[in-house]
Amino acid sequence: MKVVIFDVEGTLTQTNAVDSECFIRTVREVLGVEHFEADWSQYQFVTDSGVAQEISQRYCDRPMSGALTKAFHEHLVNGLRGQPKSVFQAIPGAIDFFNSLVESPDYAVALATGAHEASARYKLETAGFEIDGLPFASSSDAVVREHIMLQALDRAARIHQARFSEVVYFGDAPWDIEASRNLGWKLIGIGPRLETDLRFDDYTDPSAIRSCL
């Protein structure tokens, strides 16, 4: 059995724009930082927790306390919930492809996202994904992307009580390439932001993607 681990934003859901908009607003309204670097690739750890912590340290010269972290993520989730549900769309073909793997006895499916758990679950469920019971890891679990991915793998192994023959990771951003390379995982890219040998615009040709698994 292989395990297939999916990133969320930009990989399963078309939510990068609304995610960035709500994150930027949360930084300004919760951390009180008006002007800051909004190119996420310029941060050491490109996860919600990692970026928020670095912004707080870099621009406010203070670490994120537990109370501030909680307030930050609650504000972010509330901001997402305040958006029209129509902005939470799945990548074309993603729901059918995702469900086909979940239903297959040949694959274990897990989710690993750099977003906070509550916000990632909201985006997935609003876009139409059924994720109850699936192994799930997020920046609520760890700051470093590789640690999040390993957490998802560990939870999948526990649920399926199996050692997997291969790990395949679906991602959409340059940091997904780096993390997959660091872990020695096979990467399948989704969307236009990746320069990698295995890349698809979306999931509308599921047979071609399955041939790469």
Angle between helices 66-81 and 16-26 (to 10 degrees): 130
Res. 163 pLDDT band, cuts 50 70 90: confident
What is the model's pTM?
0.95
Regarding beta strands 186-190 and 136-137, do their DSSP bridges make them parallel or antiparallel, or are they unpaired?
unpaired
What's the whole-number average pLDDT of the chain? 96
Inter-CA distances, 89 with 134, 137, 183, Å? 20, 21, 30
Task: State pLDDT tens for residues 16-55.
Answer: 999 999 999 999 999 999 999 999 999 999 999 999 999 9
Task: State pLDDT tens for residues 88-126.
Answer: 999 999 999 999 999 999 999 999 999 999 999 999 999
